[in-house]
A and B are shown apart, each in its own frame.
Chain A
Amino acid sequence: GQNIDQPTEMTATEGAIVQINCTYQTSGFNGLFWYQQHAGEAPTFLSYNVLDGLEEKGRFSSFLSRSKGYSYLLLKELQMKDSASYLCAGLDSNYQLIWGAGTKLIIKP
């Protein structure tokens, strides 16, 4: 079966760094997406990885290891506005997104 696993909730301190992990099992693999979703709002696209390695985009970076079926989202210099759910999603061989349940990130002052 297809499955995306990520922690349910994480807590971090303003100004710190946090890493949100995601492991995936998909039928075929065409890439890994990260989305951010603030409470009551729609998900918004953060990153897409299809090759191994780290992709950096400002304060956010995303890493992929295809051999390990593993990705992480790294958030630096955390701000209060980063409090949100972070959704990991794998694109399978049919180019359909398989979604994780999301990681709720709580930022404390």
Chain B
Amino acid sequence: NAGVMQNPRHLVRRRGQEARLRCSPMKGHSHVYWYRQLPEEGLKFMVYLQKENIIDESGMPKERFSAEFPKEGPSILRIQQVVRGDSAAYFCASSPPYNEQFFGPGTRLTVL
């Protein structure tokens, strides 16, 4: 059973470009979470999704950021018009209902 998969592992973008981060949850997991982590800082919750539904997006910036978890395919975290402050590690985690979260390896976004 493959673990949580994220791609790309590293992403470099210039200011103003779009970044698309993908997350494939573990088989059988219907809950997906996205977190952002700045160097030397803790995890910051961004959004919690189930298939085709956003359950909680209270940690997501109101502008430029969006997330989806379609019926088929991976969950996508999309950042439009990236700025230098978006540079961070973005972790995806998945879980079955009401259980521990399993983390993917993360995507390290660098904005030049």
Please state if A101 and B100 are interface contacts (CB–CB under 8 Å).
no
Count of A residues near B, CB < 8 Å? 19
Contact across chains for A99 and B42 when beta carbons are under 8 A apart: yes
Of B41, B43, B97, which is within 8 A of A95 by CB?
A: B97
Contact of A42 among B42, B56, B91, B100 (CB under 8 A): B91
Given contacts A87-B42, A99-B45, A101-B41, contact A43 B100 (CB under 8 A): no
Let me know if A100 and B42 touch, CB within 8 A.
Answer: yes
Of B45, B100, B104, the contact of A33 (CB 8 Å cutoff): B100
Q: Given A95-B97, A96-B56, A42–B104 Cβ distance below 8 Å?
A: yes
Instruction: Name, among B41, B98, B100, B104, the residue most crowded by chain A CB atoms within 10 Å (CB to CB).
Output: B100
Q: How many A-B residue pairs have CB under 8 A?
A: 40
Q: Which residues from B are CB-within-8-Å of A85?
A: 42
Chain B residues contacting A91 (CB-CB under 8 Å) are 98
Once bound together, how far apart are the Cα atoms of A41 and B9, in whole Å? 11
18 contacts between A and B (CB under 8 A): A41-B106, A42-B91, A42-B106, A43-B43, A43-B91, A45-B102, A48-B100, A85-B42, A91-B98, A94-B56, A96-B56, A97-B33, A99-B35, A99-B42, A99-B43, A100-B42, A102-B42, A102-B43
